[in-house]
Structures are given as structure tokens and as C-alpha cells.
Amino acid sequence: MKVFVPVKRVVDYNVKVRVKSDGTGVDLANVKMSMNPFDEIAIEEAVRLKEAGVATEVVAISCGTAASQETLRTALAIGADRAILVETDADVQPLAVAKLLKALVDKEGPQLVILGKQAIDDDSNQTGQMLAALLGWSQATFASKVVIAGGKAAVTREVDGGLETLELTMPAVVTTDLRLNEPRYATLPNIMKAKKKPLDTFKPADLGVDVAPRLTTLKVVEPAKRQAGIKVADVAQLLDKLKNEAKVI
């Protein structure tokens, strides 16, 4: 069974991002970039499926600038067998990514696509769901456990009241939550081996997909600064403030 794992190059989770002075977005100049942490979990899960003999090939895919090759090399160092880069300088939004992935799925015929539930830069949480809809495949989002056997996938999801387990007919799209696994580190010998693994590059036009943005960002602002706390004289005053100022009771 072939497994696709889309990965996104995002600002490293340790970086404190700053909004550009003109409010058009986040300043990415000289900022450390890494693989989206949820996608790392997806790669780890796919590699574990391969190690367990369930998957036969793990293909990492990224859509973005040429610099995304670095992210794909990380995926290869973790254990993916080969990589595909859909290279574009355009701002690829979730729908465009889903269309590009659909084109690649049609071309290569994987049985499973595992991807992060969302990217930590735009927090869209849309690509997996859009891809499943475009393909007409089963989907399970926010997976915290994945078991594949007998042509079906049992996916456990964390929901408000506890755990929910879904049984999916393959082929399927699964998006990963934080507790699905703990990704391994890319070791130095594997980083060297990753250099020799194949990495194919396509353009969106090769796949017949229009990636022009459908959404326009109006404004990006810093979160409001937290106000200093206050002391209240008694319980009555506290209740009054909760009712009338905070309006939470």
C-alpha cells in the first residue's frame, strides 16, 4: 500500500513571529523555517506503518517554493522513501493544495493520505477535509490512533466527551492530532542517506491545477496585549465585575 504524506514548510514553532509594519502578513525575513509539527507526526505514522509491514512506500509531498526541498529532505531523513515537490512561488491556499494533491493521487494511486490536521502558520484546518471531498474518499480527522487491517482503517479521535473510534473504508484521508505519536529525530546517518533518495519536481501547470488565491487577507495584527490584573475588595465586587464587566456570569 502506497501512503502519501503532504508536508508544509512553516515558521519554526520556537520562533516568536512578528507582524509586518504594514499589516499585510507575518515577517518571514531571516526567520527559521521547519516542517509543520503535525506533518512530522504524519510522517512518523506513515513510517511506522511501513515498518509494521502495512505500507510498502511512503511518499512525502510539499507544495511551495524551491526552499520546501529542505522540508522534504527532513521527511526523507525521518524515513519517507521518496519525495515530490510541486514548485510554485504563489501563495498556495488550502483549496489549491487539495487540488494539487488530488492530481497527484490520481496520478499515483495511493490508498492512504496522512497529513497534519492543520499548519501552525495559518491554522486553516482545511486541506485534509477538502482533499477527501475532492477525491470522494472516507476521512477521519484529529486522529490519535490509527490501526489498518483487512482493507479498513480504525481511527480513534479525541472528542469533547472522550474518545470516538471510526471505521473507514480504504482509500482514506486521515489528519493527525498531537497525541498520535512522538516523531523520531532525523539522525545524522539518515540525513546523509536522504540526499540519495529521489525527489521529483512538478509545476502546478504540469498537473493542470490553477493555484491562484481565492481568498484575500485584509489585515494582520498582533494579539492584544494582556491587561494588568486588579485586586477586588470583596466577593460582592468580584461578582459585580464578572457580571457587568467581563459578562461571564
Partner 1 sequence: MDFTFTEDQIAFRDATRRFLMTEAAPEMLREIWETDAGRSPELRAKFASQGLTALSVPEANGGLGFGDVDWALMAQELGYYGIPDSLADTACVAVGLLAGLADDTPGRDTWLERVVAGSIRIAVGHPINPLVADAHLADLLLLHDKGEVHAVPRSAVDVRASQSIDQSRRLGQVTWQPTSATRVADAAKGQGLWADAFDRGALCTAGQLLGLAQRMLDLSVDYVAQRKQFGRPIGSFQAIKHQLADVATRIEFAGPVLYRAAESLANRRAHASVHVSHAKLACAEAAWLAARKGIQVHGAMGYTWEVDLQMFMKRAWALDAAWGDRGFHKTRINDFVLGDGASLGPGRNFME
Residues that bind partner 1 (CB under 8 A): 14, 70, 73, 77, 185-192, 195
Instruction: Give Cα separations from 6 to 129, 150, 222 (angstroms).
Output: 13, 25, 29
Closest contact distance (angstroms) between CB of 181 and partner 1 is 15
- Residues 38, 67 contacting (CB under 8 angstroms): no
Q: Is the peptide bond before 171 cis (omega within 30 degrees of 0)?
A: yes
Closest contact distance (angstroms) between CB of 52 and partner 1 is 20
Closest contact distance (angstroms) between CB of 196 and partner 1 is 12
Closest contact distance (angstroms) between CB of 22 and partner 1 is 25
Closest contact distance (angstroms) between CB of 60 and partner 1 is 16
- Between 146 and 186, whose beta carbon lies closer to partner 1? 186
Closest contact distance (angstroms) between CB of 18 and partner 1 is 14
The upper half-sphere exposure of residue 167, i.e. CA atoms within 13 Å in the direction of its Cβ, equals 4
- Residues 17, 26 contacting (CB under 8 angstroms): yes
d(CA 112, CA 94): 19
d(CA 167, CA 150): 11
- Between 77 and 84, whose beta carbon lies closer to partner 1? 77
- Between 25 and 37, whose beta carbon lies closer to partner 1? 37
Tell me the β-bridge partners of 64. Answer: 87
Mention every residue, 6+ apart, whose C-beta is less than 8 A from residue 156.
Answer: 143, 144, 145, 146, 163, 164, 165
- Between 20 and 195, whose beta carbon lies closer to partner 1? 195
- Between 70 and 167, whose beta carbon lies closer to partner 1? 70
Give the DSSP letter of residue 227.
P
Rg (CA), the chain: 21
- Between 22 and 182, whose beta carbon lies closer to partner 1? 182
